[in-house]
A = this chain, B = another copy of it.
Amino acid sequence: MLSSASRSIASLKSRCAYEPYASKVCKPEDCIPIFKDGMSIGWSGFTPVGDPKVVPIALSEYVEKNNLQGKLRFNMFIGASSGAKNEDRWAKNGMIARRYPYQNGANLKKNINSGKTFFADKHLSMFPQDLAWGFYTKQRGGGIDLAIIEATEILADGSIVLAGAVGSAVEFCHCADKIIIELNTAIPSFKGCHDIVAPWKPPGKPYNITSVDSRIGELSIKVDPRKVVAVVESHAIFPGRPVKGADATAKAIAGHIVDFFQNEVKQGRLPENLYPLQSGVGNIANAVVDGLNDSPFGNLTVYTEVLQEAMLPMFNSGKLKFGSSTSLTLSQWDKLYDNFDFYKNKFVLRPQAISNSPEVIRRLGVIAMNTPVEVDIFGHANSTLINGTRLVNGLGGSGDFLRNGYLSIMHCPSARKTKKDKTGISCVVPMCTHIDHTEHDLDVIVTEQGLADLRGLAPVERARLMIEKTVHPDYKDQMREYLNLAIQATQPKGAGHEPQILSKVFKMQENLKKKGTMHLDSW
């Protein structure tokens, strides 16, 4: 056991076994001259864990002090979201010209939604491959200028042991011209927690992962030491991500899912310990994990993008055997570190190309569970854009898991309140205003009202079941009326495989904008 006090005393030397880096050791502010306007930069980290801290903060301070806001702008690549104190401060300072492939920052989002920062979502499994293949930086012939990587140890060959996330760090190190290492000595070394696989070009080899705990790679990222331009000591620990408690809606959703699993086991379509679980982030996802913890299921496994706090007690109780992910996201890091030797044998952190690999997800039969912005009656889902235009967070790995999972489940409340109406927003609509997951991808949709098992159903059957099982009672009649109108308008003309009336299809969303509710006076 490593106490909070003892953790802060590890010396830089005790964590760096590669002598030649001694000459590269410097302070965060010494790195400032490395940064040039227009650079393409990759950061380690994922949902913000394992991201560089002291160097980005030093650069922010430099920009603020010298009134360089908007004058040093970068193309930023980070596996997923990063932190408020490092990344979002860059956004506030106008330092982010472009950002891929996921974000979750207040200022960054504001810039993206007002057209000041260019952003694009990409399936998280594909992003690092496409970057390594040169698709994101065609204008410079591929590669990036700089990678900034948080490490917890440097091995004798100069290779890097990361912190609590892998993300796209391997690809960034591989294709960057220069690398800055932030060696964090305030947290334990994560040596042994990672399974690092090098980037490849087609044809690749099979990822020989046949169980959540299979290991196919190395413990550290091999780098060309000549590319390392600075090694900076860091003691920075950012606060963990707070966990919202489960409300009645989330608990009801979790209940429906556990019941569904029990029936699937009974029918022989799932084994008694289920298949490996993937669960998104947020309070519904947490409630589902809590629900499983309280369920009769045991010997569970997880193959996911982010290992969540709610999984720690399940490791303790033995309910959860093993977890694979690309990141650990906790609200209180001491919960992990105080029993680090115990937990270290319970999980493996993989590059996001592998944690989210379609190949592995399908082979292992992962059960995918994610929360959308809205779903439609035919089984499409919007995960990214409110009203089809305003970015919320991003796609993340939802598409990787939902497309390839054995079972693909989306869960959301049936309705949300507005200022004017306690059920002003129906989360189930005739047509989503943006589609990230199609009717060909989703198996099951759940709200607190109930669970719609859409497998094997035709579009009209799906719509009837969605209305019956998932729509809030306040909207059931309105939705039934729409479906009947759409059937009448299309099927007699031989054009109604999936009945819709284009002129009315977004009427509920339009009404919300004008009148603060999706309740219509009439269709």
Task: List residues of A whose CB falls within 8 A of some B CB.
Answer: 98, 100, 110, 112-115, 118-123, 130, 133-138, 141-142, 201-208, 210-211, 267-269, 275, 358-359, 362-365, 380, 385-391, 395, 399, 403-404, 406, 431, 433-436, 438-441, 443, 453, 455-461, 486-487, 490-492, 494-500, 502-503, 505-506, 509-510
Contacts and interface: CB of A to CB of B under 8 A. Distances in A.
Contacts of A275: 202
Contacts of A499: 389
A521 to B, nearest CB: 17
A120 B457 contact: yes
A387 B496 CA distance: 10
A461 B98 CA distance: 12
A505 B453 CA distance: 31
A490 B135 CA distance: 29
B458 A118 contact: yes
A110 B136 CA distance: 45
A434 B505 CA distance: 12
A435 B433 contact: no
Given A113-B494, A114-B496, A141-B267, A456 B120 contact: yes
A415 to B, nearest CB: 20
A108 B440 CA distance: 20
A150 to B, nearest CB: 25
B206 A210 contact: yes
Among A134, A380, A443, A456, the one with the most B-chain Cβ atoms within 10 Å of its Cβ is A456
A325 to B, nearest CB: 18
Contacts of A363: 202-206, 359
A393 B498 CA distance: 13
B201 A365 contact: yes
B436 A440 contact: yes
Given A115-B496, A205-B363, A206-B363, 11 more contacts: A120-B439, A134-B269, A135-B456, A136-B456, A141-B267, A202-B365, A204-B365, A388-B502, A388-B505, A389-B498, A390-B495
Given A119-B497, A364-B202, A98 B506 contact: no
A364 B115 contact: no
Contacts of A457: 118, 120
A506 B498 contact: no
Contacts of A494: 110, 113-114, 390
- Copies of this subunit: 2
A477 B137 CA distance: 30
Contacts of A269: 133-135, 142
A477 B522 CA distance: 36
A7 to B, nearest CB: 37
B440 A122 contact: yes
A486 B406 CA distance: 39
Nearest to A130: B455
Nearest to A209: B206
14 contacts: A110-B494, A114-B494, A120-B456, A120-B457, A120-B459, A123-B441, A136-B456, A138-B455, A202-B364, A202-B406, A204-B210, A359-B362, A359-B363, A388-B500
Contacts of A120: 439, 456-459
Contact of A440 (B204, B395, B460, B506): B395
A365 B135 CA distance: 14
B438 A134 contact: no
Given A359-B362, A435-B380, A443-B135, A498 B202 contact: no
B455 A497 contact: no
Contacts of A390: 490, 494-497
Among A435, A487, A492, the one with the most B-chain Cβ atoms within 10 Å of its Cβ is A435
Given A120-B457, A138-B267, A510 B502 contact: yes
B203 A364 contact: yes
